[in-house]
Amino acid sequence: MRKEFLHFSPPSITEAEIAEVTDTLKGIWLSTGPKTKKFEEVFKNQVQCEEAFAINSCTAGLHLGLKILGIQPGDEVITTPMTFAATANVVEHLGATVVLADIDPKTLLIDPKEIEKKITPKTKAIVPVHFAGSACDMDTINDMARSRKIHVLEDAAHAFPTKYKNKMIGNTSNLCSFSFYATKNITTSEGGMLTGPEDLISKARVMGLHGMSKDAWKRFDKGGSWRYDIETPGYKYNMTDIQAALGLVQISRLSELMATRTQVFKIYQEAFLNSPFFEVNQIPENCESPYHLYILKLNLDSLKINRDQFITELSSRNIGTSVHYIPLHRHSYYANKYKWTPESFPVANQMAERILSLPLNNCMTAQDAQDVVEAVRDICTQFKR
Ligand SMILES: *Cc1c(COP(=O)(O)O)cnc(C)c1O
């Protein structure tokens, strides 16, 4: 058994990140400035989007995106129960109604057939979540939405860098919101990026900075003007240059970080693909994943312990884990407001009892991954039915 606890998802921060942040601290731009602009440019080139707006979280991007698309009380927004609560919370912030469409048990991605069943004349937007870094069936979802003039905003928190049919997620006319939270594929500690067509992103830039007509950072620059106008009561969602400094170095290390994740993924796949004790979550063939999460779906009939006990056993073997996710309809606010029962979304509900996420992060060595494999095997042997 390993001696030290293996954390679920620590960040990989090198001397290069520390130097770039220090450089920012020694300069004059702590908030949004030249490094933020540069990070937007680099990100834009990576995902091949029309425009990119650096923001302080993916949640901010989801809120801003729906606001820009005109979502308001009375509107319905369709998303998946298998997501982090932020995806739905922002719909509530706008006074609109959350509608859930159940998932595909193989991939845990939103099922387009279920979306179709939930569309009504009030449906104004669909928010597919590229769960675990796998791309949703975007051609089907986009066709469904375009023919009915419904907007699509992609929750791409897990999906940098994901390819769908050989194109990067972000390379689309949909708005996409990415996350650089501390546990995501690259990090700025907190942070995000909203990408999309130029007209929508210009609106987002105004709405994301107080509703102010000019970028504040230009305001204080030589030749900038002190004059500004408030066009609308906007939000405060801009990224800082300290965050962008982290992001610039992280993105420059992208191939190294992805190689680390890929190595771990391959070790897991080889060990876990054909087990009687669990199934592994599948990745659709038309996408390339950054392997954001590695999920086991326990076959509870084959084990004497349940998922929660399995997690405790892993923890006692010094392996950190997590669960993605407690589905939305099982959180008290949503269950009470929408009168959802656990059975309202049967696939998500069943999966929720079986899933756990193993460590898969930018710091792991092959030995760490082997330690996880050994611990999982040990538990299965000890508790097989
Ligand atoms: C992390 C996450 C978010 C929120 O991202 P933040 O940058 O922390 O706001 C939204 N959706 C999903 C699916 C996430 O995993």
Comparing 369 with 224, the larger pLDDT belongs to 369
Model confidence at 354, pLDDT cuts 50, 70, 90, reads very high
Work out the number of other CB atoms within 10 angstroms of the CB of residue 350.
15
Q: Is 356 helix (H, G, I), strand (E, B) or coil?
A: strand
- Assess whether the C-beta atom of 83 lies below 6 angstroms from ligand 1: yes
**pLDDT average, residue stretch 218-225:** 69
The b-or-e profile of 216-230 (16+ CB within 10 A means b, else e) is bbeeeeeeeeeebee
For ligand 1, the distance from its centroid to the CA atom of residue 239, given in whole angstroms, is: 16
Cα separation, 139 vs 30, in Å, equals: 41
Q: Is the pLDDT of residue 221 over 90?
A: no
- Assess whether the C-beta atom of 84 lies below 6 angstroms from ligand 1: yes
**pLDDT average, residue stretch 10-27:** 98
- Assess whether the C-beta atom of 181 lies below 6 angstroms from ligand 1: yes
For ligand 1, the distance from its centroid to the CA atom of residue 59, given in whole angstroms, is: 6
189 close to 163: Cβ distance less than 8 angstroms: no
Instruction: Give the model confidence (pLDDT) of 24-57 as tens digits.
Output: 999 999 999 999 999 999 999 999 999 999 999 9
Instruction: Give the model confidence (pLDDT) of 280-323 as tens digits.
Output: 999 999 999 999 999 999 999 999 999 999 999 999 999 999 99
In this structure, which residue's CA is closest to atom 5 in ligand 1? 58
For ligand 1, the distance from its centroid to the CA atom of residue 90, given in whole angstroms, is: 11
Q: Is the pLDDT of residue 205 over 60?
A: yes
Q: Which residue has the tokens 């300290």?
A: 242
Token output for 175: 């708005």
Q: Judging by beta carbons within 10 Å of its beta carbon (0-12, 13-18, 19+), is residue 339 exposed, middle or buried? A: exposed
194 close to 55: Cβ distance less than 8 angstroms: yes
Instruction: Give the model confidence (pLDDT) of 114-142 as tens digits.
Output: 999 999 999 999 999 999 999 999 999 99
- Assess whether the C-beta atom of 137 lies below 6 angstroms from ligand 1: no
**Confidence (pLDDT) at 133:** 98
381 close to 322: Cβ distance less than 8 angstroms: no
Give Cα 327 to chain centroid, integer Å.
Answer: 15
In this structure, which residue's CA is closest to atom 1 in ligand 1? 157
Cα separation, 144 vs 137, in Å, equals: 11
Regarding pTM above 0.75, the answer is yes
Q: Is the pLDDT of residue 8 over 80?
A: yes
Instruction: Supply the residues annotated as catalytic.
Output: 184
Q: Is the pLDDT of residue 224 over 90?
A: no
- Assess whether the C-beta atom of 59 lies below 6 angstroms from ligand 1: yes
**Confidence (pLDDT) at 151:** 98
